[in-house]
Amino acid sequence: MSEAHRGQVVAHQFEDGGQQHDADTLGIWVFLGTEIMFFGGLFTAYAVYRSLYYPAFAAGSRVLDIKLGAINTAVLLSSSFTMALSVRAAQTAKRTALAGLLIATMVLGAAFLGIKGFEYYQKFVEHVVPSLDFAPQGEVLARLAPGGLGHAQLYFCFYFFMTGLHALHMIVGMGLLFVLMLRARRGEFSAEYYAPVEVTGLYWHFVDIIWIFLFPLLYLIGGRY
C-alpha cells in the first residue's frame, strides 16, 4: 500500500492507524452506552408493569407465536455471525467475500423484519393491537381475559413499542450495511483501514443483543406448559 493511500485512511489528528482504531471503537461503545440507557428505560418500565400485572403479561406472552420468535432469534444470530465474518473479511482484505457477507447480513436482517412483519399482521388479525384495534375474540380472548383486558393491552403496548424500536434500529443498520457494501465494492477497505466495518458491526451486534433480551421477556415469560 502506498504512503499516499495510508495518508488518506489515517486522519491527521491521529498518531497512527492503531490509535485511530482505538478512538473509533471507544466512540461507538460510548454511543452504545447511550443506547443501553435508551432501551434501558423501556426495559425498566416493562419490569415495573410486569411485576404489577404479571398474570396479564404472562397471558399476553402466550398469545405470541413462540416458533416464529425462536426462528427469528436464530435468523438474527446468523446475521450477527455473517457480520462478524464481514469484519474478518475486511481485516484479511478479501473484498469480494466482504461484499458478499455484508449482503448476506442484509438478507438475514430483511428476513427477520419480514417474519416480524408477519407477526404484526397476525396481531391485527387477532385484534390485539392496543388502541387501534383491541377487541380479541374466541381463543385469544379466553387466554387474555383472566389477566384483565386493560392490562393485556398494556402488555401489547410494550410488545409493539419494544419490538418496533428494535425493528427501527435494524432498518437503520441495514441502511448502514448497504453503504458499507457499496464502499467495500469500491475497494475502500483494507487490512489497515476497516474501522467503518468494525463500528457498524458493533452496532449490529448491539441490536442483536437487544433482541436476545426481548425474546425471553416478551415470548417466554408466561411459559408454555
- Which positions lie near other proteins, rule CB under 8 A? 15-19, 21-22, 25-26, 29-30, 32-33, 36-37, 40-41, 43-44, 47-48, 51-52, 66, 70, 73-74, 77-78, 80-81, 83-85, 88, 91-92, 198, 201-202, 205-206, 208-209, 212-213, 215-217, 219-221, 223-225
Find the shortest distance in angstroms from Cβ 38 to other proteins. Answer: 10
DSSP-derived secondary structure for 90-144 = HHTT-HHHHHHHHHHHHHHHHHHHHHHHHHHHHHHHTTEETTTEE---HHHHHHH
- Surface-to-core class of residue 154, CB atoms within 10 Å of its CB (0-12 exposed, 13-18 middle, 19+ buried): buried
Find the shortest distance in angstroms from Cβ 82 to other proteins. Answer: 9
User: Which of 126, 208 has the CB closer to other proteins?
Assistant: 208
Cell 481485516 identifies what position? 91
Find the shortest distance in angstroms from Cβ 161 to other proteins. Answer: 17
Nearest residue to 63 (alpha-carbon basis) of 143, 121, 124? 143
For the record, the C-alpha cell of 218 comes out as 416478551
Find the shortest distance in angstroms from Cβ 178 to other proteins. Answer: 20
Give CA–CA dist 123/156, Å, rounded. Answer: 9
User: Which of 88, 143 has the CB closer to other proteins?
Assistant: 88
User: Which of 111, 220 has the CB closer to other proteins?
Assistant: 220
User: Which of 46, 129 has the CB closer to other proteins?
Assistant: 46
Q: Quick one: the chain helix, strand, coil %, rounded to 5? A: 80, 0, 15
Find the shortest distance in angstroms from Cβ 121 to other proteins. Answer: 22
Cell 377487541 identifies what position? 135
User: Which of 101, 184 has the CB closer to other proteins?
Assistant: 101
Contacts with 125 (C-beta within 8 Å, 6 or more apart), sequence order:
none
Find the shortest distance in angstroms from Cβ 137 to other proteins. Answer: 26
User: Which of 30, 172 has the CB closer to other proteins?
Assistant: 30
